[in-house]
Every structure is written in C-alpha cells, then in structure tokens.
Chain A
Amino acid sequence: MALQDKYKELIDAATQAGVSVSDQGGVLHIDGDVATGDVKDRLWQIYDKIDPNFTSGEVVLNVNARAFEGGKVKVVTQESNLNIRKGPGTDQPIVGKAAKGEIITLVSKANAQWWLVRTNDGEEGYSYAQYLEPVS
C-alpha cells in the first residue's frame, strides 16, 4: 500500500485523465492515451516531483497524447531536426527532415514506435512516434 500512498497524486491525476493504473509486482504501471500533450507533460511533472529523476524504479509511466491518423502532429525533438526514414527503423535511410516545432501530418501508425508522416513539402516517410505530439 505504501506505493499507492507515495504516488497518490500521480495515480489520482492519471485516473482523472482516463488511463489505467495497476500494481504489477511492486511496480506501478500507468498505461493509456490522454487527451493532449499537456496532460502527458503534467503527469510526468508530478512523477518527477514525487520521485526526482525517476530513480526508484517504482513506476512505468506510458501515457501518450491520443493521435488520429490523418491528423496533425508537432515535432517535439529535444533540439535537432526529426529524421524521416524510408522504413520503420533507425537502420533505414533518411528520406527527409522535419524541423523542431514544425507541424506535419500523421498518415498512419505503422506500429507503436514508428509512424508514417508527411511534411508540408510532401515528403513522406517514417518517424519515431515519441518525437511527435498530436495537436488539436
């Protein structure tokens, strides 16, 4: 129960955001899609506040802003441009780039990690999903 107490604020916020929380062998698994990237960021801020630098190994927080195929996504890289590749994998050749902050089109989700995107110049290819955030 200690885990439930320690992470109460995170669990409450996650539940409110509509994602599932389960205790799996002493690790809290928080999984699901949330409405926006802001909600995701908020959950991560709470997690960082309770467990600074995420060192306890007590939580696996896998929440993502709900993205729709055909919708717009924003490039949320740390600083560099986002690579657009011929296929889903870093071993695939780079066919284009999208700048940080650029808003491009999500064509389809190849899998959880790689999404097919199209830039405004019409370049199409696969990018790493964690660097894309849906915009409404």
Chain B
Amino acid sequence: MKQFRFISALALALVLMIGFNACKKVKDADLKTSIEQKFVANPDLKDVMVDVQKGIATLTGQVKDDATNTAAINMAKEVKGVKQVMSNITIAPPQPLVSDADATMQAALKDALKDNSGVVYEVKDGVVTLTGEVKKSDLPKLMQKVSALKPTKIENKLTIK
C-alpha cells in the first residue's frame, strides 16, 4: 500500500511536471504572439522578429532608427509575463531623401547624358553634381544639355581629358 502511494505520488509529480512544462511552453508561444500582435500595428516594426524563451523575449531584425528600437523594446516589455527583453535589432543606414523634382531631373539627365558615358550625375535639391571625365570638346555641349534642364546649380567636378 505504501509502495502504491509512493508510485502514485511519483506519477502525480510527473504529470504535474509535464503539465507545468507544457504550460510554460504554451506561455512562451503566447507571449511571442502577443508581442507580434502589438508590432503589427506599427509598420516601422515589420522587419522585427520575436523569439521568447522562458519569458525572455529576444528581438532581431532591422528598424529605421534608435527611437523605433526603443519603442519596440517598450512594447515587448508591456506584455504581461515578459520578464526581460533583449534587443539585437540593427539600425538601418539613413536613406537619402529624393524629392519628386530631383527624381524627374535625374530621369531627364539620363536622356541628356546618354552619349556621355564617362560622366556620373547626381541631383540633390535641384543641384546637379557632375563627376567622372569628359573630353574638353564635349564639355560645352554637356553643360548646355544640363543647363537646359533648369537646375538650381551645377557642381562641375569633371576631370577634363
């Protein structure tokens, strides 16, 4: 009888342990889902992945800046049951802002400088910067073609061959 009791106690303990473990596993998965659901609301966090192990959330991926990284950490911390948040998120290099006017000018320059293969051009705030090399005899025509697009300024850094 004593032996039976011992065995049943052991069995109970085993069941409890398994149950506890299973419960814990579900909990990590739930936490992961909860965090992900919060992140979905913020398009800046679309490239962030979440992993939860024993209540510790690890964030990986890329965001546009530090503030977004901090926001992601705070959002994950707010989820009840999350003990700690580790962020391995990297910050994306800044994207150059290209205005519509600059993009239009850039496209027009492609047509204008089709025959000037050694010339590299860049547009920023209406200022056209020319680099690379050009023959002296081709330079006036090149400048005329660029000027005809009405840039704000022409930064001519071309090397004359």
Please give the residue numbers on chain A whose beta carbons come within 8 Å of chain B beta carbons, in ascending order.
Answer: 24-25, 27, 31, 44, 48, 53-55, 57, 60-62, 64, 78, 80, 89-90, 112-113, 128-130
Contacts and interface: CB of A to CB of B under 8 A. Distances in A.
Contacts of A78: 115, 137-138, 141
A128 B114 CA distance: 11
A127 B158 CA distance: 26
A61 B143 contact: yes
The residue in B114, B139, B151, B153 that gathers the most chain A C-beta atoms within 10 A of its C-beta is B153
Contacts of B115: 78, 80
Contacts of A64: 148
A130 B150 contact: no
B74 interface: no
Given A78-B115, A113-B112, A62 B139 contact: no
A113 B108 contact: yes
Contacts of B111: 89-90, 113, 128
B144 A44 contact: yes
B61 to A, nearest CB: 37
Interface in B131-161: 136-141, 143-145, 147-158, 160
A130 B110 contact: no
Nearest to A41: B140
Contacts of B156: 53-55, 57
B139 to A, nearest CB: 6
Contacts of A129: 148
Interface residues of B, number: 28
A48 to B, nearest CB: 7
A24 B141 CA distance: 23
B113 to A, nearest CB: 10
B108 A54 contact: no
A27 B152 contact: yes
26 contacts: A53-B139, A53-B156, A53-B158, A53-B160, A54-B143, A54-B154, A55-B156, A57-B156, A60-B150, A61-B143, A61-B144, A78-B137, A78-B138, A80-B115, A90-B110, A90-B111, A90-B114, A112-B148, A113-B108, A113-B111, A113-B149, A128-B112, A128-B145, A129-B148, A130-B144, A130-B145
A61 B147 contact: yes
Given A27-B152, A62-B148, A113-B148, 12 more contacts: A53-B139, A53-B156, A54-B143, A54-B154, A60-B151, A60-B153, A61-B147, A90-B111, A113-B112, A129-B148, A130-B141, A130-B144
